[in-house]
Structure 1
């Protein structure tokens, strides 16, 4: 059975829920879903869904970087939106963070996300 290690980054929102920000196992980092929450205030960031998506990607990056990687190491992402009409705006902001070889990805419209945010993203990264 592979050893697993919890990864926690101060640059990503903290919570008291029973899950880790990320879990590293056999060189794969599984990053929990993050919404557009400012890690310093614990509050949802103001602005449109593009700005919120940038914050989500910054939260994901903080956890991946804590494990020794970067967003370029993400191999799979799942994007959750509460309104598929936001898809284009979310995609534009997301694209600014993933580099020349974007990860495989799924986008799902969810009826509701925690704290009623509009976008949440989780990821899997290959880190050494």
Structure 2
């Protein structure tokens, strides 16, 4: 098992790894909408938050030698599923035809007051 904490990804907000590489897979921990370049925390714009998170996941996977096209499963946690259509458009635009298995779940709250958190599993 290899613990991954790439420089081009948001830092963990607790005692965990950003991602773990094991048995041919990369397990990316839940990512919050933090723009790594500016440090901006995206709140109130679900499309921008979604794209920011997915770009961070892309950076994490690429730093481990994988890619978003190797994602097999995505779990999405949102505090307001009434914004699902906005999320889904940004998500679809990002993946551009690649369709990993996915779950989208409404939760009462997320760390740091985020509107959305996304985790992914990809082939290494």
| RMSD of aligned residue pairs (Cα, Å) | 1.5
With the length of structure 2 as denominator, give the TM-score of the two structures: 0.92
TM-score, normalised to structure 1's length?
Answer: 0.90
Does the 8 A contact of 1:71 with 1:97 survive in 2?
A: no
> 1:38: which partner in 2?
35
Please name the residue that 2:87 is paired with. Answer: 90
Asked if 1:115 is matched to 2:112, the reply is yes
Contact 2:76 2:117 in 1 (8 A): yes
Specify every segment of 5 or more residues in structure 2 that has no aligned partner in the other structure, as ranges. Answer: none
Matched positions, count: 124
2:53 paired with 1:51 = no
Once the 2 structures are TM-superposed, how far is the Cα of residue 95 of structure 1 from its aligned partner? 1.1
Runs of 4+ in 1 over 3 A off after TM superposition: 40-43
Structure 1 unaligned segments of length 5 or more: list them: none
Q: 5 Å matches for 1:5-84?
A: 5-15=2-12, 17-45=14-42, 48-84=45-81
